[in-house]
Structure 1
Amino acid sequence: MDVTFKKKKEVLEGEVALKSRDMEDSHEGFKGEIEDCAFEDEFITISPECVRCNLCVEECPVNAISDATFSRPAKILDGCVKCEICAQTCPVKCIHVIESTSTVQDDVKFHLKDVKVPHRKLRMESIEVDPDKCDSCSTCVRFCPTEAITVSEGETAQIDQEACVGCGACANVCPQGSINLVRELGPVIKTKELLVDEDTCVQCQVCEENCPVNAIKLNGDRVVLDHEKCILCEVCSTKCPVGALKLEMV
């Protein structure tokens, strides 16, 4: 995806003025004048193609994704730290990392672009259907992304093990819990690097206090990073008040 939206600057200013009327202590005749500026951001979203496997939920290190159910896809929550592990893990690539750029000049432009994210290894090792539990409801068929499951009327679900990718959608949505899956999920692929400028660091401990996985510590006047724990999110680098921490693409 690579999309640009535009609107006139005066339209946005009118929207700001209109919004201000709903605010307490607003002044009559207020005009929403907006100076030229530019903003960049990144966000993660899950598309409706979610197959309800809940792999993203299981792998999120900060519990920032709500469970997918039969009736609704998984959802990114406010606690997301943009580590992109979910996007690397999704077996059907329905989790998107989006770069957004907003610029205000003569026009207001919003630019959205998909970030290419590598995919972790995912492989089915074994999968079985318990015939004593399966009630032939075909719920698993609906969500299988590779059409590897067939269910004849009144019969136990049959799984084509050559077509199965081991995502686990069927096991997650099966109301009877009749599907047993063993899969192999590879390690997270490092696409970024956290750089520490010891000369700039002022030992304020903001990074240590805010790290969601306790991967960064201050030892005397040195910043010590636990590379095994670090999920390469954006928290410490964005909160560092002196710019001593920088997250860069590898």
Structure 2
Amino acid sequence: MDVTFKKKKEVLEGEVALKSRDLEGSQEGFKGEIEDCAFADKFITISPECVRCNLCVEECPVNAISDSTSSRTAKIMDNCVKCEICAQTCPIKCIHVIESTSNIEEDVTFHLKDVKVPHRKLRMESIQVNPDTCDSCSTCVKFCPTGAITVDEGEIAQIDLDACVGCGACVNVCPQDSVNLVRELGPVIKTKELRVDEDTCVQCQVCEENCPVDAIKLDGNRVVLDQEKCILCEVCSTKCPVGALKLEMV
């Protein structure tokens, strides 16, 4: 996806003025005036094609994704740190990392771009259906992304081992917990690197205090990064007040 759209600046100013009326203590007749500026951001979203496998939920290192069920998709929550591990993990690539830019001049221009994210290895090793508990409800058939499951009337679910990718959607949605899956999930692919400028660092400890996985510590006047713990999110690099930490693509 690569989308650009525009809005008149006066329309945006009108929307700001309209919303301000709902604020306590706002003055009647307030007019919103927006100066020329530019913003850049990144967000992660899950599309409706979600197959309810909950792999993203299991792999999120900061518990920022709510569980999916047969009636609702998984959802990215406000405590997301944009590490992109979920996007690498989704077996059907329905989790999207989107870069957004907004430029306000005479018009307001919005640009959204889908970021290409590599995919971790995912492989089914073994999968079985318990014949004593499967009640032929076919819920698993509805969510299997590869069509690997069939259920004949009155029979237990049958799984095509060649078509199964080991996502675990059937395991998650089965109301009888009848599916047992063993899968192999490869390591997270490192697409970024956190660089530390020791000369710029002022030892303020903001990075240590805000790291969501305790991967960065201040040892005397040195910043020590635990490469095994670090999830290459955007927290420390965006919060560093002097720009001593930079997250760069590799």
Q: Which TM-score band (shorter chain)?
A: over 0.9
Q: Distance in 2 between matches of 1:105 and 1:44?
A: 27
Alignment of 1:15-164 (within 5 A): 15-164=15-164
How far apart are residue 29 of structure 1 and its match?
2.8
Secondary structure of 2:136's counterpart equals: coil
- For 1:71, give the aligned amino acid: S
- For 2:190, give the aligned amino acid: K
Q: Distance in 2 between matches of 1:30 and 1:172?
A: 52
How far apart are residue 219 of structure 1 and its match?
0.5
How far apart are residue 21 of structure 1 and its match?
2.0
Moved over 6 A (4+): none
Q: Distance in 1 between matches of 2:99 and 2:38?
A: 13
How far apart are residue 16 of structure 1 and its match?
1.3
- For 1:94, give the aligned amino acid: C
How far apart are residue 30 of structure 1 and its match?
2.1
How far apart are residue 131 of structure 1 and its match?
0.4
- For 1:73, give the aligned amino acid: T
After superposition, the C-alpha distances for 1:142-190 in whole angstroms (9 at most, x for unaligned) are 0000000000000010000000000000011000011100000000000
Q: Aligned pair 1:230/2:220, yes or no?
A: no
- Aligned sequence identity (%): 87
Q: Distance in 2 between matches of 1:168 and 1:72?
A: 16
Residue 168 of structure 1 corresponds to 168
Secondary structure of 1:93's counterpart equals: coil
Q: Distance in 1 between matches of 2:141 and 2:231?
A: 35
Q: Distance in 1 between matches of 2:229 and 2:40?
A: 28
How far apart are residue 31 of structure 1 and its match?
1.7
Q: Distance in 2 between matches of 1:38 and 1:56?
A: 32
Q: Distance in 2 between matches of 1:31 and 1:81?
A: 35
Q: Distance in 1 between matches of 2:132 and 2:205?
A: 57
Q: Distance in 1 between matches of 2:19 and 2:158?
A: 57
Secondary structure of 1:3's counterpart equals: strand
After superposition, the C-alpha distances for 1:82-135 in whole angstroms (9 at most, x for unaligned) are 000000000000000000001101111111110000000000000001100100
Q: Distance in 2 between matches of 1:25 and 1:135?
A: 60
- For 1:205, give the aligned amino acid: Q
- For 2:177, give the aligned amino acid: G
After superposition, the C-alpha distances for 1:213-232 in whole angstroms (9 at most, x for unaligned) are 00000000000000000000
- For 2:147, give the aligned amino acid: E
Secondary structure of 1:161's counterpart equals: coil
Q: Distance in 1 between matches of 2:5 and 2:227?
A: 39
- For 1:84, give the aligned amino acid: E
Secondary structure of 1:242's counterpart equals: coil
How far apart are residue 20 of structure 1 and its match?
1.9
Could you tell me which runs of 5 or more consecutive residues in structure 2 were left unpaired when the two chains were aligned: none
